[in-house]
Amino acid sequence: MTEMQDMKKIESGNYGVTSGYKVITDNDIIFSVRRYVVEIQASGKETVKYDTIVGSEYIK
Residue closest to 37 by CA, chosen among 23, 54, 53, 49: 49
Q: What is the pTM of this model?
A: 0.62
pLDDT band at 56 (very low <50, low <70, confident <90, very high): confident
Averaged pLDDT score across all residues of the chain:
83
pLDDT at position 41 is: 80
Architecture of domain 14-55: 2-Layer Sandwich (3.30)
Instruction: Specify the higher pLDDT residue, 6 or 31.
Output: 31
The mean per-residue pLDDT over the stretch 9-17 comes to: 72
* Cα 23 → chain centroid: 13
